[in-house]
Amino acid sequence: MLKSVADIFKIPELKKKVLFTLGILAVYRLGAAIPTPGIDASALKAFFETQKGTLFGFLDMFSGGALNRLSIFSLGIMPYINASIIMSLMQTAVPYLERLSKEGEFGRRKITQITRYATLVIAAIQAFGLTFWMQTMKSPGGAAVVKNPGLSFQLMTILTLTTGTVFIMWLGERITERGVGNGISLIIFAGIVDRLPVAVGNTFQLFQSEEMTLFGILFLAALVFAITASVVWVEQAQRKIPVQYAKRIVGRKMYGGQSTFLPLKVDQSGVIAVIFSVAIMMFPATIAQFFPNVGFMEKISGFLRPGQWIYTIMYGGLIIFFCYFYTAITFNPKDLADNMRKWGGFIPGIRPGQSTSSYIDRVLTRITLAGALFVVCIAILPQYPISWINAPPMLATIFGGTAILIVVGVALDTIGQIESHLIMRHYEGFMKKGRVKGRYFNIK
Residues 138 and 195 in one domain: no
For the stretch 203-206, contacts whose Cβ atoms lie closer than 8 Å and that sit 24 or more positions apart, written own/partner, are 203/395, 206/392
Q: What is the pLDDT of residues 354-403, one digit of tens each?
A: 888 899 899 999 999 998 999 888 888 887 777 777 666 666 677 777 78
Cβ-based neighbours of 176, under 8 Å, separated by 6 or more:
182, 183, 184
- Res. 351 pLDDT band, cuts 50 70 90: confident
Range of the domain at 214: 1-26+183-444
Residue 90 in contact with residue 114, Cβ under 8 Å?
no
Q: In whole angstroms, give the CA distance from residue 226 to residue 77.
A: 29
If one counts the domains in the chain, the total is 2
User: Based on the domain organization, do 242 and 326 belong to the same domain?
Assistant: yes
Query: SS3 of 40, please?
Result: coil
What CA–CA distance (Å, rounded) separates 14 from 341? Answer: 37
- Cβ atoms 244, 346 nearer than 8 A: yes
Residue 427 to residues 2, 21, 127, Cα–Cα distance (Å): 13, 21, 48
d(CA 205, CA 182): 35
Of 179, 212, 236, which residue sits at a domain end?
Answer: 179
75 and 3 in a common domain: no
Q: Which of 64-73, 329-338, 354-363, 380-389 has the highest mean pLDDT?
A: 354-363
343 three-class SS: coil
- Do 22 and 40 share a structural domain? no
Q: Which 8-state DSSP code applies to residue 39?
A: B
Q: Which of 112, 146, 179 is the last residue of a domain?
A: 179
Q: Which of 129, 154, 179 is the last residue of a domain?
A: 179
Whole-prediction pTM value?
0.80
Q: Are 216 and 300 in a shared domain?
A: yes
Coil vs helix vs strand at 72: coil
Asked if 168 and 218 sit in the same domain, the reply is: no
CATH code for the domain in which residue 230 is found: 1.10.3370.10
